[in-house]
Amino acid sequence: MKAEIITIGDEILIGQIIDTNSAWIANELNLIGIEVGRMISIADQADEIIQAISDSFQRADAIIMTGGLGPTTDDKTKQVLCDYFQTRLVFDEDAYKDVEKFFRERHLEVNEINRQQAMLPENAINFPNPMGTARGMWFTKDGKHLFSLPGVPYEMKAIMRQSVLPELKKLSGSQYIFHKTIMTVGIGEAFLAEKIHLWETDLPSFIKLAYLPSPGLVRLRLSAKGNHPEIVQNAVMQKVKELETIIPEYIYGFDDEPLEKVVGDILKDKGKTLCTAESCTGGYISHLITSIPGSSNYFKGSVIAYSNEIKANILKVDENLLKENGAVSQQVVEAMAKNTHQLLRSDYSIAVSGIAGPDGGTPEKPVGYVWIAVADAQTCKSEAFHFGNQRMQNIQRTALSALNMLRLMLINA
C-alpha cells in the first residue's frame, strides 16, 4: 500500500509553525509497512484541498490529511471534503455528547461554534478524539481511502494510535517491517562508512542501511521487510551483533537513546556522582544531563566558568596557567576538571573550554578549537578537538564529545 500525507494550514506555509505531523505519521506508517511517497503542505482553501486530494489519489492508495477541522470559519476542510465525496454534514449525537463532556470537565459551556464539531459527514466513518473535540474522519472512494485528522499534534497522534493505524493495518496486508537503529558517537560519517564497508556490502538484500548524521552523532538504521517477523528480526539482530564487534568503541546505544541517558545509567549502576565545569558550552552539558529523569541521583552540579575571573576565583585555576597558556588549553581545562572535582566532591568531573564562535578565533586557536578533560580521583584525561565554525554545532559537539569521554572512562574503570 502506498500513502501520501497532506498537511493543511496557512500557519505552516508562512513559517509560523513547523510541520512535525508529517514526520511522525510517516514513521508510523513505515513501521507497519506502508510506503509514503509524498508529503505536502497546502493552504486552507477549497481549491487547494481538492486539487491536492485529486493529485494524491492518482498515485496513492491512502491519504492521511491533518488540519482545518476546527470550529471556526477559517477551518474549511470538513465542508470541502463533503463536496469532494458528495455527501453532507449531519448532526452526530454521540459526537456532541463528547463535546459536552470535554467542556464540562473544564467547567466551560458549549456555545454554538463548539456545537459545530458535532456536524460530521454523513457517509464517512468518524473516530472519537480522546484529546479534543475534532473527530477524525474516514472516507472511501473507488477503493481509495482518505483519513482526515485534526492538526493539533497530540490530538492527531491519539486518533492515529487508537483508530487509524489499526484500520490501515487491516487494509494494507503489508509485509512485516523491522527497524533497528545503532547509535554511534566519536566518529564522522565518512570515516564510519570506511570502517564498516565490508560489513555493509555483506548485508542481505532484504536489509537496508541508512546513515543518519547529526552534530556529534551518526545513527545507523537497519530496515528489513519480510513475511515472517521472527526471521526478519533475527537477521537484523545478527548483523547488529557483527557490527558491535567491528566498532565497539563507537556504539553507545540503540534506537535513539540519548547519550546523556546512557552515561547517567552507568553512573547510577556504579553508584558514582558527576559534576561539570563549563566554559564554551555555557551550561549545555548540565542541561543534557538534567533533562534525564532521576539525574539528581548522580549529578552534583556545575560551575559555569565563562570568564577567566570565575576560572581563577571560583575554580582556583592558577592565574599563571591562564596567562601562559590561555583559557583554551590542556593545562587550564585539566585544572578546571581537577579543581571542580574537589570543589563539588563528586566521583567524576567534566571540564570544557573552547572557542565556540563565530568570532574570537586566532590562527593558533581557530573557532571550533576545544579542549575537554574528564577526571576522577586518580586520573585526568584530556583531548583537543577541532569542530568547525558553526557556534551551536560546536556547543552540541563539545557536549557529546565530553559525555562520550566520560562514558569510555566509566566503562574502562
**CATH label of the domain that carries residue 394:** 3.90.950.20
Q: What is the pLDDT of residue 340?
A: 97
DSSP classification of residue 358: S
Which of residues 209, 225, 254 is at a domain's end?
254
**Is 174's pLDDT higher than 70?**
no
Q: How far apart are CA 234 and CA 141, in angstroms?
A: 40
**Is 263's pLDDT higher than 70?**
yes
Q: Phi and psi for 10 in degrees, rounded to 5?
A: -60, -30
**Is 72's pLDDT higher than 90?**
no
Which of residues 254, 287, 317 is at a domain's end?
254
Q: What is the pLDDT of residue 58?
A: 97
Q: Which residue has the cell 537477521?
A: 235
115 and 192, same domain (yes or no): no
**Is 74's pLDDT higher than 80?**
no
Domain that holds residue 139: 2-172
Q: What is the pLDDT of residue 113?
A: 85
Q: Looking at residues 295-313, what average pLDDT do you find?
A: 97
258, 214 in Cβ contact below 8 A?
no
**Is 48's pLDDT higher than 90?**
yes
145 and 211, same domain (yes or no): no
6 and 155, same domain (yes or no): yes
| CATH number (domain holding residue 226) | 3.30.70.2860
Q: Looking at residues 152-165, what average pLDDT do you find?
A: 97
Residues near 101 by beta carbon (within 8 Å), at least 6 away in sequence: none
Q: How confident is the model at residue 413 (pLDDT cuts 50, 70, 90)?
A: confident
Q: What is the pLDDT of residue 76?
A: 86
pLDDT tens per residue, range 11-23 = 999 999 999 999 9
**Is 2's pLDDT higher than 90?**
yes
15 and 108, same domain (yes or no): yes
Q: Could you give the 3-state DSSP secondary structure of residue 139?
A: strand
Least confident interval from 6-10, 104-108, 376-380: 104-108
Q: How confident is the model at residue 206 (pLDDT cuts 50, 70, 90)?
A: very high
165 and 191, same domain (yes or no): no
158 and 18, same domain (yes or no): yes
Q: Could you give the 3-state DSSP secondary structure of residue 95?
A: helix
207 and 192, same domain (yes or no): yes
Q: How far apart are CA 58 and CA 41, in angstroms?
A: 17
pLDDT tens per residue, range 76-128 = 899 999 999 999 999 999 999 999 999 999 988 888 888 889 999 999 999 99
60 and 145, same domain (yes or no): yes
219 and 315, same domain (yes or no): no
| Total number of domains constituting the chain | 3
37 and 165, same domain (yes or no): yes
67 and 119, same domain (yes or no): yes
Q: How confident is the model at residue 157 (pLDDT cuts 50, 70, 90)?
A: very high
9 and 30, same domain (yes or no): yes
Grid cell of 266 as nine digits: 552507568
Q: Where are the beta strands (DSSP E) in 288-368?
A: 299-304, 348-354
